[in-house]
Amino acid sequence: MRVIVVGAGVVGTMHAWQAVERGHEVVHIEREAEARGASVRNFGLVWVGGRASGAELETALRARELWEGIAARVPGLGFRPNGSLTVVTNEVELAVARAASELPDAAERGYKLLGAQEARALNPALRGEIAGALWCERDGAVEPRVAQRALKDALLASGRYTFVGGREVRDVVGPGAVRDDHGTTHTGDAVVLCTGAWLGGLVRELAPELPVRRVRLQMMQTAPLGEKLTTSVADADSFRYYPAYAGDALTALAAAQQQQPIAAEHKMQLLMVQRADGGLTIGDTHEYDEPFGFDVVEDPYEHLSQVAESILGRPLPAIRHRWAGVYAQCTATGRVVHRERVADGVWLVTGPGGRGMTCSPAIAETTANELGW
């Protein structure tokens, strides 16, 4: 088969990977010279622990398996099975962690409730005042700023992959055929549109009632820490944003302990991942109402810095980068991603939300299976 993939973010690239792996020829079209959206502006987390039980968790676990297999062949991804610690500081937060560790699928997630000393033994960089942590062994991380390039290089080496950058697809002109803004028509047996947060233009024409919204976030990255952060780290505010933790213990936490005003205003949690150069990627915020602001706001960065320093028990290194990003999130209940046939031979796959980096290999595998590649 000849497969046309539109969009070179992680979801699109994983669709190209699946097609090439199954023996097909791929033409990969990207409107930028290379991916510049949410796929390179994220933590690089392969975040299994917080996923909803059922299809979402199954997708994340399958994706985690696929990431490990791909990374064995593409070391440039920087994949590492480092797990994560969600740090708690008091009894009500500890109760949520304990409830999670007792879930029926806790073993599948790799959950284990740790005391403060156990958490520090696993990650000695955690020198702050903590009461314990929820360990998730199945979590991992990749290097988002270089992962797309590494995958692209591996695909090019196959001899069955062509990358066409700097072209925006404008029209569907026939079964399995699209035309770009240079007037070139690309024809294949299937077209897969993986356009991320680009939901206007052609996407709006093809799917005007798309159940997907856009979400904006702010993040930052420090200079090298000077020591190893052996796991990814989250704070207890993360319990509020992931479906795995819903239940009586979380309800009690929400009643007993309000978020700090700045955290509540910007719908914040702390996530912290060490990069290959030793720096820390730290975030994040959530903004749902458009039009989004065009600037980054300083107060959330100050809050995140304070929380990170309280967990590490030391000042953060200098902040070297600050940025904002936008991703697409499916609003349909229980759906990991929106997958729709929008024209003859043309499918749209979008809206994984914050699950994009985690779940993209399995999302692409499902598309390939459903389309009979």
CA dihedral sign, ordered 117, 123, 124, 128:
negative
CB of 4 within 8 A of CB of 27? Answer: yes
**29 and 152 within one domain:** yes
Q: Quick check: is 62 in a domain?
A: no
Query: DSSP alpha helices (H): ranges in the chain?
Result: 10-21, 55-73, 91-101, 106-109, 116-122, 144-156, 201-206, 248-256, 261-265, 298-312, 356-370
Answer whether residue 74 is part of any domain: no
Same domain membership, residue 174 and residue 257: no
Q: Supply 289's token pair.
A: 């109402």
Tokens 């791929």 correspond to 26
In a domain, 64, yes or no: no
Q: Say if 54 falls within a structural domain.
A: no
Whether residues 255 and 297 share a domain: the answer is yes
- Least Cα distance to 45 among 367, 355, 361, 371 occurs for 355
Q: Do 241 and 315 fall into the same domain? A: yes
Question: How are beta strands 177-180 and 319-330 bridged, if at all?
Answer: unpaired
How far, in Å, CA of 71 to CA of 157, rounded? 16
- DSSP three-state, residue 185: strand
Kindly report the CATH number assigned to the domain that includes residue 133: 3.30.9.10
Q: Are residues 190 and 151 in the same domain?
A: yes
For residue 21, give the CATH number of its domain: 3.50.50.60
Q: Is 12 helix (H, G, I), strand (E, B) or coil?
A: helix
Q: Are residues 152 and 286 in the same domain?
A: no
Does 340 share its domain with 357? yes
56 occurs within a structural domain = no
In a domain, 232, yes or no: yes
CA distances from 118 to 87, 94, 134 (A): 12, 14, 11
Residues 95, 27, single domain; the answer is: no
Question: Same domain for 254 and 315?
Answer: yes
Domain range enclosing 9? 2-41+145-211+333-370
- Does residue 327 contact residue 38 with C-beta atoms inside 8 Å? yes
Asked if residues 65 and 58 have their Cβ atoms less than 8 Å apart, the reply is: no
Domain presence at residue 280: yes
Burial class (CB in 10 A: 0-12, 13-18, 19+), 122: middle
Domains held by the chain: number: 2
Mean pLDDT in order along the chain per 10 residues (373 residues): 97 98 98 93 96 96 98 97 98 98 97 98 97 98 96 98 98 97 97 96 96 97 98 97 96 95 97 98 96 95 98 98 97 93 97 96 98 95
Q: Which residues contact 334 (CB under 8 A, 6 or more apart)?
A: 52, 54, 55, 56
Residues in the chain: 373
Q: At what angle do helices 144-156 and 10-21 cross, to 10 degrees?
A: 30
With respect to residue 299, please indicate whether it lies within any of the assigned structural domains: yes
Q: Give yes or no: residues 128 and 245 share one domain.
A: yes
* Contact criterion met (CB below 8 Å) for 192 and 288: no
Same domain, 343 and 216: no
Token code pair at residue 63? 């994706």
Same domain assignment for residues 248 and 322: yes
> What is the spatial distance between Cα 171 and Cα 251, in angstroms, rounded to a whole number?
48
Class of residue 137 by CB neighbours under 10 A (exposed 0-12, middle 13-18, buried 19+):
middle
Give the separation between CA 361 and CA 343, rounded to whole angstroms: 24
pLDDT at 334: 86
